[in-house]
Amino acid sequence: MTMSRRALLAAGAGAGVGLLAACGSNTGRGSGGSRTELAQWYHQYGEAGTEQAVERYAAAYKKASVKVQWRPGNYDQQTAAALLTDSGPDVFEVNGPTIDQIQGGQVVDLTDLLKGVEDDFNPAVLAQKRYDGRIWGVPQAVDMQMLYYRKSLLRDAGVEPPTTLDALVDAAKKLTDRKVKGLFLGNDGGAGVLGGTPLYAAGLQLVTADGGVGFDDPAAARTLGKLHQLYADKSLLLGAPADWSDPSAFLQGLTAMQWCGLWALPQVQKELGDDFGVLPFPKDGGQGRPSVPVGAYGAAVSARSRHKDAAKEFVRWLWVERTDYQEDFALSYGFHIPARISLAKKATRLQSGPAADAVRFTTDHGCAQPLLWTPAAQSAYQDALSRIIRSGADPEGELRAVVGKVAAELDRVKSAKKAKTAS
Amino acid sequence: MRGRRALWFWVFVGPFALGLALFTYVPLVWSVGLSFFDARNTVTPTHFVGLDNYTAMLKDDAFVDSLKTFLVFTAFIVPATYAFSLSLALMVNRVRRARAFFRSVFFLPAACSYVVAALVWKMSIFNGVRFGLANTLLGWFGGDPVAWLSTTDPPWYWLVIVTVRLWLQAGFYMILFLAGLQRIDPALYEAAAVDGARPGWTVLRHITLPQLRATSVAVVLLLVINAFQAFDEFYNLLSDARGYPPYARPPLVYLYYTALGQGQNLGVGSAGAVILALIVAIVTVGQARWLRLGRTDADG
């Protein structure tokens, strides 16, 4: 009897350990084998074929066995959590890396990989990956957002495609009737998706070149106040079943103009044919210039990887050397602009119609979110913008508070750098 | 004999105790530890900052706002659920036929996930375009479509948030009230009738409610704690395409964003969690004292 009880306990303990081990081992790394094994993480792309494509690239790499993990859900949170442990990815794509990830030593310096080809990368998005003179992620493909408008609806209302913010406010008002709204900037009224774009359109910026607050200027309050005008005029579509990132509201005729991503272009083209055009966010004021937000997922290497050199070598092979795969990745599935200038110039799909406009906007008016613009700064600004747009809060007062918070946040980031260089 | 009992005790309780320690107590203590460190993007910080995280959190308007959001939410949801589930229970208790059927039907929503219900509320019932269910109803009476979740003035979004939770949880509390109602001695009602109390409000006020005292205390306590833990419906109803809820953030939603979202500021997030835990503890103990939890119905 005693024996069997012990046996039972041992079995129970064994099962428990086995379960725990099972929980911890699903990292995509596999175990054993003579070839180096690398785990590579991607977020789930919506376009069909992308997953198979990245599997194909990984399989074609001969120096290591690369296991791709395709991760649905909150990808940023998943990687952030995984980077705290040893069971995270070796190579991963990231909407960053963020300044805190770089300063926290979570990602590896990749400057050497780009030696000689640095100039071939889109400078706006490469600037986002650069900190302290080093490069911390290799841009994979450029994404951008712009304003889609329905030509026929504008023509019927006698409205020209707007080239200034005031014209946009007027156009949205004229295009609004009982069934169709003038403009869709997302269900929150625009605070989330627009971010710093209106500030760039006013000739300002989020963070200056020397790391100061870039919108401590009366022009900022004036421009953001106009966004409230759109809301107050009831020209904005709100509460649509799908948010701004999906072109459904535009395609279903719920709105005459919509802010959306380049990724929606093939679908819009398919459904509307020639009956649409694209615009950058229009300029505002004498110093203003049109602007479009650009950004790129970057390939980064985890500092916790057990095979950092092998991982770097793989990143160099895929995202620097294999331009054929880079071109395939950017253009064959979804619709992105290759991060390499030489590839973007070659791409025939990007040489005519609205796609060519989009490329031109990216080159001429592209503004990437600065690396020093931390999530804390972002949420302070976005909350204020939300109150300005929706509740009609006084833009000057709101901005004063935001400037204070952002300045403190920039100081923190800069002093963290000093502490690091000192130590 | 005694040793044998102890052994069996650990065989049955051990795995659970181990899980509790590993997945609840260790993270709890760890989180309290983190709250005293500058912990950005790390769970093993080295830079001790004392109470800085706590002062930062208490000075943070957004955190204070989240506590206000919780207060408003509680002020709506606790009385609404109490009244609604009690009325359901009284009605179901009175029907003579198909009582089990009604009981099940009203309890059914409790089996639905908060996320799913929130999405149904957001995308079909209360979407802001003209063909949403609520707006279609408004349209029949000549009203203009309302962007329920995007309008902060008047704050229509509260209607959406409160109704989804009301629908989800009323059935569960109805069952609690039904159990309470069935424990009331019918002789009391007979005696009241003999004394001339008219059925209806008088009986409810002087017999039913006092007899339900213990149940009511438990229900209110559970409702307040559940309101503190509100996350799912707020997050799913109000967050934008990038997962950022711009307003009406109860404390857990805000802390989730600070600590686990893009913020990854685990030190400040933990400080917020400790503050929140203290508030929940104080409120619960205070409420239990005030409502005299634990007394039986007869004492009431």
Cα three-residue angle A42-A48-A51, rounded to 5 degrees = 30
As a whole number of angstroms, the longest Cα–Cα distance in chain B is 80
pLDDT for A313 beyond 90 = yes
Interface of chain A toward chain B, CB-CB under 8 angstroms: 5, 8-9, 12, 16, 74, 76-77, 80-81, 83-84, 98, 100-101, 104, 106, 178-179, 186-189, 191-193, 237-241, 243-245, 254, 375-376, 378-379, 382-383, 386, 390-392
pLDDT tens, position by position, B5-60: 889 999 999 999 999 999 999 999 999 999 999 988 888 888 999 999 999 999 98
Residue of A383, A402, A409 to mutate when probing chain B, most B C-beta within 10 A: A383
Per DSSP, A146 falls in state E
Average pLDDT over residues A292-311: 95
Task: Please judge whether A386 and B261 are an interchain contact, meaning their C-beta atoms are less than 8 angstroms apart.
Answer: no
- Residue ranges per domain, chain B? 47-291
| Amino acid identity for residue A263 in this structure | W
Residue with tokens 């609404």: B80
Number of helical (H) and strand (E) elements in chain A, helices listed first: 18, 12
- Confidence band (pLDDT; 50, 70, 90) for A7? very low
Least CB–CB distance from A5: residue in B7, B132, B152? B7
Query: A34-143+294-368 architecture in CATH?
Result: 3-Layer(aba) Sandwich (3.40)
User: If you average pLDDT over every residue of chain A, what do you get?
Assistant: 89
* A34 φ/ψ sector (left φ>0, alpha ψ -120 to 50, else beta): alpha
Token pair belonging to A318: 């895929």
| Residues of chain B with C-beta less than 8 angstroms from the C-beta of A12 | 11, 15
CA distance A176 to A182: 5
User: A66 φ, ψ to 5°?
Assistant: -105, 125
* Region A385-410 average pLDDT: 94
CB atoms within 10 A of CB B113: 10
Residues in B closer than 8 angstroms to A145, CB to CB, are none
Instruction: List CB contacts (< 8 A) between B260 and chain A.
Output: 77, 80-81
Q: Which run of H or of E encompasses A131? A: strand A130-131
A100 vs B41: CB contact, 8 Å cut-off?
yes
Digit-coded pLDDT (tens) for B213-262: 889 989 998 999 899 889 999 999 988 877 788 888 998 888 888 887 77
Query: Please, what sign has the CA dihedral across residues B199, B200, B204, B208?
Result: positive
Q: Is B150 in contact with A390 (Cβ distance < 8 A)?
A: yes
B47-291: CATH superfamily? MetI-like (1.10.3720.10)
How would you classify the pairing of strands A138-150 and A276-279? antiparallel
Three-state DSSP state, A184:
strand
- Residue A27 is predicted with a pLDDT of 47
Q: Do A375 and B147 touch (CB under 8 A)?
A: no
pLDDT at A35: 83
On the question of pLDDT at A146 being above 60, the answer is: yes
Are residues B41 and A12, on separate chains, in Cβ contact within 8 Å?
no
Interface test with A, best of B55, B125, B153, B244 (most A CBs within 10 A): B244
How open is the CA angle A171-A173-A176, to the nearest 5 degrees? Answer: 105
| pLDDT category of residue A179 using cuts at 50, 70 and 90 | confident
Output b/e per residue, B232-266; b: 16+ Cβ within 10 A: bbbbbbbbbebebbbbbbbbbbbbbbbbbbbbbbb
pLDDT > 90 in chain B, percent: 58
Residue range A217-231: average pLDDT? 95
B178-185's contacts with Cβ under 8 Å and 24+ in sequence apart are B178/B89, B178/B92, B178/B93, B178/B103, B179/B215, B180/B89, B180/B211, B180/B212, B180/B214, B180/B215, B180/B216, B180/B297, B181/B89, B181/B90, B181/B93, B181/B208, B181/B212, B182/B93, B183/B211, B183/B297, B184/B208, B184/B211, B184/B212
Which of A16, A74, A179 is facing B243, going by the closest CB pair?
A74
Q: Tens of pLDDT along A108-145? A: 999 999 999 999 999 999 999 999 999 999 999 999 99
CB contact under 8 A, A106 and B41: yes
Q: Which tokens belong to B225?
A: 């704690």
Q: Residue A422: what pLDDT?
A: 56
Helix (H, G, I), strand (E, B) or coil at A254: coil
What tokens does A111 get? 């400057």
Helix (H, G, I), strand (E, B) or coil at B65: helix
Contact criterion met (CB below 8 Å) for A301 and A312:
yes
| pLDDT tens per residue, range B56-100 | 999 988 999 999 999 999 999 999 999 999 999 999 998 888 888
**Model pLDDT, residue B293:** 65
Helix, strand, or coil (residue A279)? strand
Query: Fold identical between A34-143+294-368 and A145-293+372-418?
Result: yes
The more confident residue out of A61 and A333 is A61
Instruction: Quickly count: other Cβ atoms within 10 Å of residue A136's Cβ.
Output: 26
Tokens of B109: 């929503």
Domain range annotation of chain A:
34-143+294-368, 145-293+372-418
Å between A386 CA and nearest CA of chain B: 7
Residue A179 CB-half CA count within 13 A: 3
A383–B153: do the CB atoms touch at under 8 Å?
Answer: no
Interface ipTM > 0.90: no
Kindly list the residues of chain B whose beta carbon comes within 8 Å of any beta carbon in chain A: 7, 11, 15, 18, 40-43, 62, 123-124, 126-130, 132, 144, 147-153, 240-244, 246-247, 257, 260-265
Write the DSSP symbol of residue B198: P
* Fold (CATH) for A145-293+372-418: D-Maltodextrin-Binding Protein; domain 2 (3.40.190)
DSSP at A320: I
A191, A245, A376 member nearest B246 (Cβ): A191
| Confidence band of B145 (pLDDT split at 50, 70, 90) | confident
> What CA–CA distance (Å, rounded) separates B156 from B158?
5
Contact A258, A247 (CB under 8 A): yes
CA-CA distances (angstroms) from residue A70 to A43, A263, B81, B169, B200?
6, 19, 42, 36, 62
